Amino acid sequence: MHKFIMAALLAAALAAQPALAQTTPANDLDAMRTALRTDKRAYVASNLALTPAQAKKFWPIYDTYQRALDGVARARAVTAESTLNRAGDQPLSNLAAKAFVTQNLVADEAEMKARRKMFNAVMRALPAAKAARYFQLEGKFRAVQAYDIAQAFPLVK
């Protein structure tokens, strides 16, 4: 069952690729959850209303950032899966617990580095208000994902 949970979480994290346009408000977390599974890019586009010139600058930055997030999500999934795949329902050893936390901190740091790089590039590509709006959207996406993972991932013993 734990493998199924992690596979579902990884699939949800990686499913942020194009499919259908979203037209719901950015404060609707259920709509954001759906967008993460179907078409995050269209959801972002509908919430930013970019001009063609802005879009030409923005989307390559967006794509680069999403690839970085995919790499972080894969690293987190590998960490979680290796933690969940221990024999039976045994508690983690101190060494395994420390490795689990360390690997998650490394993923957090990689994500923060990618986020800072993305934001600096978006600030150069878009007006500050649109850049801030995109930064907020990504923050909301992260919050939805973190909540979903927190619900599905049991606390270590």
Give me the pLDDT at residue 27, please: 60
Q: Which tens digits make up the pLDDT trace of 122-145?
A: 999 999 999 999 999 999 889 888
154, two tokens: 């049991």
Residue 35: per-residue pLDDT = 76
pLDDT tens figures, 27-43? 677 777 787 778 889 99
Residue 47 vs residues 28, 35, 96, 98, 137: alpha-carbon distances, Å? 12, 12, 42, 40, 9
Low-confidence ranges of the chain (pLDDT < 50): 1-24
| Amino acid 28: pLDDT | 74
Strands (E), the chain: none
Q: How far apart are CA 76 and CA 148, in angstroms?
A: 14
CA atoms within 13 A of residue 35's CA, in its CB half-sphere: 26
Cα 105 from Cα 113, distance rounded (Å): 12
